[in-house]
Amino acid sequence: MFLKCPPWLNRCLTICIFFVASFEPSNFSALNPIRPQMFDDLPSGYPATSAQHQPLPSSNRVTASSLYPAPMLMSTSIRQLADFEFSQLSGGSSTDNYNESGLPASREKSILAVRNCPTPLSLMLHSSYGAQRMHELARQIIRSDLTTSTYRQILEDLKKGDCPDPNTIVVSLDDLGSSWLRPDFKSMIKAFTDRDLVLVVGVIVRGPQDPVIWAYLRGLEAQGIEVASHTIDHYNLPLIEQEAMVEQVAGSYRVVCENLRRCPVTLILPFGNYDEEGRIMATATDYTFVVGIQGGLTFRGYPPYYLGRIPPNNNNQGITLYLLRRTFPIGRQPRAHIQ
């Protein structure tokens, strides 16, 4: 036997059910003020490199729930994640104290809106490149009237309303370590600093942290060399679970902030590998730039921005500069302002 409801109650229930079923937060523009067109030029795929994730010790573990609001973990859509105000991501963490502008890093980034900027000439190096080639590259850069720069300096240009200068080259040297540093790296860096050239160094921050190495890295920052995060363990990020990715990306950000006494603005991806689903960009919201290899010839929208790089020619550094100009459209156009 069923309870018979009066007609007016049936109508109320029908209206309520319809309202609940049609409700979607993204329909309310007041809740989602930002809808940039982002990352349209990202590559469609990357070569897979196997990597096994080993959990961090509990003392070093950074959990996703401690860093991000719960809604951020419910979707990997870049567009939906961009709808959040970036100030929600900082949560007033202690790392915000190192921001030079006095603002939380994420809140500061929310003021940047780039419609379209070309990526500067960007070169990727490793220790196998060696000091001798580094000297040859430095001489070629000076002969070609190029100006070395860093991603941190590009951020300063963006704040002034300028895209990167066409005569700018960003040279990044990957795989320095915060617990042990190969002597080759110091020789390679010195080939640039002796000529008043700057570069970006990507540091793997697996502990234990060596205070002598961090003192050296702080000295590099004082000379205009940018210290970027290269994650904690150099795992292939697209192949690991979300919790592990948070440890590698957000955890390394915190380590650099605390030991460099200045927060990084750049995440250099291990193996240059990016994921189509956008999990890396969703996790890397503390950074302004995420640097890979393929694609990323221009950038737009709101941070973090994806930028590409290319490897060198090992035999002739004149050819290396030719390849850079051929790959990056910025080498063939005048300087642009943010549109």
N-terminal to C-terminal alpha carbon distance within the chain: 69
Specify the pLDDT at position 131: 97
| Alpha carbons 236 and 72: distance in angstroms, whole number | 22
Specify the pLDDT at position 227: 98
CB 268 within 8 A of CB 126: no
Specify the pLDDT at position 72: 28
pLDDT at 4 over 70: no
Specify the pLDDT at position 99: 47
Q: What share of the chain is helix, strand, coil (3-state, %, to 5)?
A: 40, 15, 45
Specify the pLDDT at position 199: 98
CA distances in angstroms from 161 to 12, 147, 164, 216, listed in the order given: 54, 19, 10, 33
192-232 pLDDT, tens per residue? 999 999 999 999 999 999 999 999 999 999 999 999 999 99
Specify the pLDDT at position 29: 27
296: left (phi over 0), alpha (psi -120 to 50) or beta: left
Among candidate residues 304, 327, 285, the one with its CA nearest the CA of residue 151: 304
Which structure tokens are listed for 274? 């990016």
CATH T-level fold of 77-92+100-254+279-332: TIM Barrel (3.20.20)
Specify the pLDDT at position 334: 59
Q: Which residues partner with 291 through β-bridges? A: 268, 307
**Mean pLDDT, to the nearest integer, of 28-34?**
27
Domain ranges of the chain: 77-92+100-254+279-332
166-190 pLDDT, tens per residue? 999 999 999 999 999 999 999 999 9
Q: How confident is the model at residue 113 (pLDDT cuts 50, 70, 90)?
A: confident
Percent pLDDT > 90 in the chain is: 61
12-25 pLDDT, tens per residue? 554 444 443 333 33
Tell me the helices (H) and strands (E) count for the chain, helix number first. 11, 10
Q: What is the DSSP string of 56-124?
A: PPTTT---HHHHS-GGGGS---HHHHHTS-GGGGTTT-GGGGG-TTSS-HHHHHTT--EEEEEPPEEEE
Specify the pLDDT at position 31: 26
Q: How confident is the model at residue 115 (pLDDT cuts 50, 70, 90)?
A: confident
Largest CA distance in the chain: 93
Q: How confident is the model at residue 118 (pLDDT cuts 50, 70, 90)?
A: very high
**Mean pLDDT, to the nearest integer, of 277-292?**
96
**Mean pLDDT, to the nearest integer, of 238-267?**
97
The reported pTM is 0.70
| Alpha carbons 84 and 71: distance in angstroms, whole number | 10
Question: Any idea which residue has 């990202």 for tokens?
Answer: 42
pLDDT at 136 over 60: yes
pLDDT at 49 over 50: no
Specify the pLDDT at position 266: 98
Which tops the pLDDT comparison, 219 or 80?
A: 219
3-state SS record for 117-128? EECCEEEEECHH
CB 92 within 8 A of CB 104: yes
CB 83 within 8 A of CB 32: yes
Q: How confident is the model at residue 330 (pLDDT cuts 50, 70, 90)?
A: confident
